Amino acid sequence: MTTPRPWYKEFWPWFLLGILGMAVVMGVTFLVFSIVAFDGTVEDDYYKRGLAINQVLEQDQHAAELDMQASLTIDDLTGDVVVDLQGESRPEQLRLDLIFPTQGNRDQQVMLERVRNGHYVGQLPRALQYRWYVHLQPAVDDPDWRLQGEIELPRKAPLTLRANSQTP
């Protein structure tokens, strides 16, 4: 009579334990990666931001009513930002928000000063690359209009921002 082999010398228990072990290792790996590489894409106040969407839409509509249009030029080498603004509103300062689509810590904000009627200048701290969302609005606490679009940097030609437009 043959004595049966101990369980730990069989193939199938080790195969099943290997699958379970790999699942645990992969789960821990993904957990550590998600904690270390948190990209911050989810807003803490997403509910309030969702309720505020109507105000943002009103800003876009008001820009259309004022016939607002801007030509945005960003110099690759110097970081100079030049905006030529057309329309019925000409504030003293403009705020240019360059928003990176996936990483909030890369967002840039540039204050643009009016140097003559409809001509604004500012300075980026460093050269930018890749695709960015662009928001241009008066530099006040509660802006009444906004122009928006997208830009791929570096870019030689000026970007035209029109009311209710999101394309370059």
Paired residues of 68 in beta bridges: none
What pLDDT, in 10s, does the model give residues 63-72? 999 999 999 9
**Full-model pTM:** 0.70
What pLDDT, in 10s, does the model give residues 85-100? 999 988 999 999 999 9
Q: Is the pLDDT of residue 7 over 80?
A: yes
Paired residues of 82 in beta bridges: 73, 121
Q: Which of 142, 161, 163, 139 is nearest to 151 (CA)?
A: 161
How far apart are alpha carbons 128 and 126 in whole angstroms? 6
112 CB burial (10 A radius; 0-12, 13-18, 19+): buried
Architecture of the domain made up of 46-162: Sandwich (2.60)
What pLDDT, in 10s, does the model give residues 19-40? 999 999 999 999 999 888 876 6
Q: Taking a C-beta distance cutoff of 8 angstroms, is the pair 153, 76 a contact? A: yes
